Amino acid sequence: MSFNIEDYLQRRKETVDRTLREYLPPDKPKTRLHQAIAYSLYPGGKRLRPVLCLAASELICGDYRNALPVASAIEMIHTYSIIHDDLPSMDNDDIRRGKPSNHRVFGEAVATLAGDALLTDAFYLITEKLFEEGVSPELILHVISIISEAAGSEGMVLGQMFDLEIDRHRPFCVDKISDVYLMKTAKMIIASILSGAILAGAKEKELLKLKSYSEKIGIAFQIKDDILDIAENKDEIQKSLDKTKTDTHTYVSVIGIEKSEAKVLELTNQAIDELKSFGKTPNPLIEIANWLRERKE
C-alpha cells in the first residue's frame, strides 16, 4: 500500500485536535478568557507543528502517543503567538483563518490575556501530562528547555521583534531575511521536531540530523508562505516587486518568485538528504517536506 501524505496529515491532525479538545474542552468555556482561548484554538489550521512533533516521535520509535501532550502544548504556543502577532500594535490583522482575529471579537485586553494564558498553560500541560504518563523527568526537562528557548527572547519573540523593526522602505539582503525566518518560524519548528524525537529516545546523532532538517524546512516553509501570499494577491504582485514603493522584507520581494521557488526546492532537498540515513521508508518527515514545498495554500 502506497503512502498517502494527505491521509496521513489528516489523521494526525485529527489526533492532535482530539487531544487538544480533551485538555481544553471547547464547549461551555467557564469565563470570557476561556472563550477567547477556545475561539483561536478551534477549529485551528493545519496543526503543522504538532504533526511534525508526532512524525518525529514516530520516526524514532514507531509510536507517537508519548508526544501528544507536547504536540498540544506546541499548538497552544503557536496559537498564543498568532493572537499577539495579530494585535493592532503588531501586525494589525483583522482576519485570521477566515474569521475575525481574536482582538476583533474579544478586544485587545482579552486577546492579550488569552495569549498570555495559552503560553503559560502550555508549560503546565507539558509538565503535568508527561509526568502523569511516566515519562522520565530528565526528558521532560529537556523538552521544556528546548521549547522555552525556541519561543523566548532568543527565538520566536526575537523574530517577531526583528520583523517589526525591518525598515520596509529600504532594500534588504537575503541573509538578514533568512535570520528573521529562522527566529520567527524555524526555531519553533525545530523545537517541535526535536521534542518529539527526544521523547521517543532519539540519540544525539539523530537529533543533530533532525535539527538540520527542521531548520531547512522551517525557512523553506516561510519562503513558500511568501510565494503563496503573492499568488493570493495577484493585483499586488507588481506592487510587491516594485522595491522603490513597498515591502522589501520578504524573499520574494528581494529575489523574485522564480529564485524563491528554487530556494524552497534547494532547502527541501537538503532537508530530505539529512534524513536518508534513518533508512525508514516511507519516512513521514520526508513526505511532509515534499508536501510543504508543493502545497497550494
- Please give the Cα distance from 226 to 47 (Å, whole number): 19
Site for its own copies (CB under 8 A): which residue of 4, 124, 229, 236? 124
Residue type, 195: S
Q: Mention every residue, 6+ apart, whose C-beta is less than 8 A from residue 262.
A: none
Only one residue has cell 486577546, namely 111
Site for its own copies (CB under 8 A): which residue of 27, 165, 175, 297? 165
CB of 41 to its own copies, least distance (A): 12
Range in contact with its own copies (rule: CB under 8 A) among 44-52, 62-70, 145-153, 282-290: 145-153
Q: Which long-range contacts (CB under 8 A, 24 or more apart) does 230-233 make?
A: 230/257
> Hey, which residues does 96 pair with through a beta bridge?
99
Q: Mention every residue, 6+ apart, whose C-beta is less than 8 A from residue 204.
A: none
Report the site for its own copies in 67-86 (rule: CB under 8 A): 80, 84
Cβ-based nearer residue to its own copies, 89 or 233: 89
CB of 258 to its own copies, least distance (A): 33
CB of 189 to its own copies, least distance (A): 17
CB of 85 to its own copies, least distance (A): 10
Report the site for its own copies in 15-44 (rule: CB under 8 A): 31-34, 37
Site for its own copies (CB under 8 A): which residue of 51, 74, 86, 115? 115
Cβ-based nearer residue to its own copies, 78 or 84: 84
> Hey, which residues does 99 pair with through a beta bridge?
96
Three-state SS at 31? coil
Are 93 and 86 in contact, with CB atoms under 8 Å apart?
Answer: yes
Cβ-based nearer residue to its own copies, 163 or 273: 163
Instruction: Read off the C-alpha cell for 83.
Output: 493572537
158 binds its own copies (CB under 8 A): yes
250 CA to centre of own chain: 18
Cβ-based nearer residue to its own copies, 15 or 185: 185
Cβ-based nearer residue to its own copies, 32 or 259: 32
Site for its own copies (CB under 8 A): which residue of 95, 131, 208, 295? 131
**Region of 62 on the Ramachandran plot (φ > 0 left; ψ -120 to 50 alpha; else beta):** left
Are 180 and 166 in contact, with CB atoms under 8 Å apart?
Answer: yes
Is the backbone peptide bond immediately before 100 cis, with ω within 30 degrees of 0? no
Binding site for its own copies (CB under 8 A): 31-34, 37, 80, 84, 87, 89-90, 107-110, 112-113, 115-121, 123-124, 127-128, 131, 136-138, 140-141, 144-145, 148-149, 151-153, 157-158, 160-161, 164-165
